[in-house]
Chains A and B, each alone.
Chain A
Amino acid sequence: METRTKATAAMGGYSRDNVAWHTTSAGRTVVLISTDLLPGRPLRLWGAVVEIPDGGVFIRLAILGPYDGWSVSQLLAVGLARFEAELAHSGEPVLAEIVSHMERAAAVHREPQAGWAVPPVSFEPAPPGGVASPFPWTVARTGPFSIPLCPDAEARQRGVVPEQLLAVIELALTSWLPVTPWRRSCWEARREVRAALTLEAARATARWAAHVADCDGEPEMG
């Protein structure tokens, strides 16, 4: 996989924004934003902006406590649940491999703050009237935060696609790596997530190529 993750740090004045981004195989971008200090605001903002058709989704990441955003444990749970649903739907062998990478990542990951509880994540089915989904759920929710996932298996509709979710987890783990007390565990979790991301990117690329070939194969409209 061609890794398109970049990072830059714009420093100046009393605010410092660190940005890292990753572009998926289908060209949808994920940008990690960390704002050390917002003038006039008490809370530090940390999260990922995920590009979807016609807009974006902000996934706020937990930084001061388990209830102010998504923790990596929760995101791993969401990713695992999505890939399990994809595996149940299509049965592609590569999905079983991705699921096992996600399971290993979840097994080795340790939340940096030992005292943090991990609030439960709930999964909700696609709202009626929207795009029909083959998956039992399309929205993941914890407390006031939710992540709408792409309802279709082809990942062409609105919502966060699985590859983007893996990219967010990868970026979050990379941010934790220099500061977590569990550096080795964090690295191992990231290693598994990167392996899953590589497999998922290859799957998405192949799916897109098949889609383009399908369109090319259709008779020209006269």
Chain B
Amino acid sequence: MTQLPSRLETLDELVRRHATGNDLPRPLPRVRFADALARGDDPLHLLPYLNELGVRIGTLEDLLAACTDSGEEEIEAFRVEEGVAVFLVTDGQWTVFTR
């Protein structure tokens, strides 16, 4: 579930909050959302994945909505100051889509 605090978290805060035990923050690939959209791909291959499922992604809000859909058990997405941070539950990979 996506929490909407009064003040948006920074990415750093999110990753620290999300980390459990000794699972410390690791490098987080960042990609400008517009660039990913133009290329049709991103480090997590989220855009081709959603495209093949028939989900239209035009804005960061679309991406956030698609990733926080209750059917997406293996993907988590969070709104952060920088944009939208996506976490793949299956392999623990992050990617940050920036504005």
A183 touches B72 (CB 8 A): yes
How many angstroms from the CA of A181 to the CA of B71 in the assembled complex? 7
Contact present for A181 and B73 (CB under 8 Å): yes
**Are A183 and B45 in contact, CB atoms less than 8 angstroms apart?**
no
Q: How far is the CB of B72 from chain A (nearest CB, A)?
A: 7
Q: Contact partner of B75 among A108, A177, A184, A191, CB < 8 A?
A: A184
A188 vs B44: C-alpha distance in the bound complex, in angstroms?
10
Check if A187 is an interface residue, CB within 8 A of chain B.
yes
Q: Which residues of A sit under 8 angstroms from B90, Cβ to Cβ? A: 108, 184-185, 188
A130 to chain B, nearest CB (A): 41
Which listed residue (B74, B88, B91) contacts A183, Cβ 8 A? B74
Asked if B23 is at the interface (CB within 8 A of a chain A CB), the reply is: no
Query: Please, which residue of chain A has its CB at the minimum distance from the CB of B44?
Result: A184
* Beta-carbon nearest neighbor of B49 in chain A: A187
Chain A, interface SS category: helix
* Contact present for A184 and B88 (CB under 8 Å): yes
Contact residues of B: prevailing secondary structure: loop
Contact with B along A178-198 (1 / 0, CB 8 A): 000111110110010000000
User: Which B residues between 43 and 99 are near A, CB-CB below 8 angstroms?
Assistant: 45, 49, 52-53, 71-75, 88, 90-91
Residues of chain B contacted by A108 (CB below 8 angstroms)? 90-91
Write the residues of chain A forming the contact surface with B, with a CB cutoff of 8 angstroms: 108, 177, 181-185, 187-188, 191
| A-B contact list, 25 entries, CB within 8 Å | A108-B90, A108-B91, A177-B53, A181-B73, A182-B73, A182-B74, A183-B53, A183-B71, A183-B72, A183-B73, A183-B74, A184-B49, A184-B72, A184-B74, A184-B75, A184-B88, A184-B90, A185-B74, A185-B90, A187-B49, A187-B52, A187-B53, A188-B45, A188-B90, A191-B45
Given contacts A183-B53, A184-B74, 7 further A-B contacts (CB under 8 A): A181-B73, A182-B74, A183-B72, A183-B74, A184-B49, A184-B88, A188-B90
